[in-house]
A = this chain, B = another copy of it.
Amino acid sequence: VVYVLQLLGVVAFAASGVVASRSKRPDVVGAVILAFVTALGGGVIRDAILGRPAQSFRDDAFLVAIVVGALLAMALPRVLHRMTPTLRVADAFGLGLFNATGTVIALESGEVSAAFAVLLGAATGAGGGILRDVLCGEMPALLRPGEVYITACLAGGAAGLVVLALGGSMASVSAVIAAVTIGLRLAAIRFGWRFAPLEGVV
């Protein structure tokens, strides 16, 4: 079940990668590459920091999911425009799953501290979108004042560490991370929670 959800998350990330980069007018190959980077870039960053080969590069199903997501976004731009709320909800589920698997992989690797494992979970979830914006020559939207996104990952990871400290299994840690991340993200979309720019805060 988790594997199928992961594949759906990859489809959603790939489609959102194409939609987000459309204003930069890539060609077809460029658009598929940006979909690829959006979907797998976060996991690649995590694995490079853990000093091990990129796990997603073993499984061609991810490649198929990316091409499906990218082609959907390219073939149905009008439908996707109307489906934007649907795409955002799918993206929220992808974010929660990527954050949960990334944090648990980092915790189980034994290579990083628990606090840094939470950061690697957030990097797994948000790193692909950041890398895509960098490849479009722009400051990543996730670093600018705006929606609650990385913060949802960090809060989910912190909740996971609490479960771990209370003696919970890795499966329950993973489930709590995903649930808190997805819940916060959906609430942020529903209620329009946003961050102010830095000048407005300090």
Main DSSP-derived SS at the A contact region: helix
Q: Binary interface profile of A, 42-73, with partner B (CB < 8 Å = 1, else 0)? A: 00100111111110011110010000000000
Residues of chain B within 8 A of A165, CB atoms compared: none
Residues of chain B within 8 A of A150, CB atoms compared: 29, 33
A54 touches B51 (CB 8 A): yes
Name the one of B29, B74, B139, B145 contacting A195, with C-beta atoms under 8 angstroms. Answer: B29
Residues of chain B within 8 A of A154, CB atoms compared: 29
Q: Please state the number of chain copies in the assembly.
A: 3
Q: How large is the interface on A (under 10, 10 to 19, 20 to 34, 35 or more residues)?
A: 35 or more
Name the one of B29, B33, B47, B115 contacting A60, with C-beta atoms under 8 angstroms. Answer: B115
Known: A49-B57, A54-B49, A58-B113. A26 touches B130 (CB 8 A): no
A201, CB-defined interface residue at 8 Å: yes
Known: A29-B195, A135-B140. A51 touches B51 (CB 8 A): yes
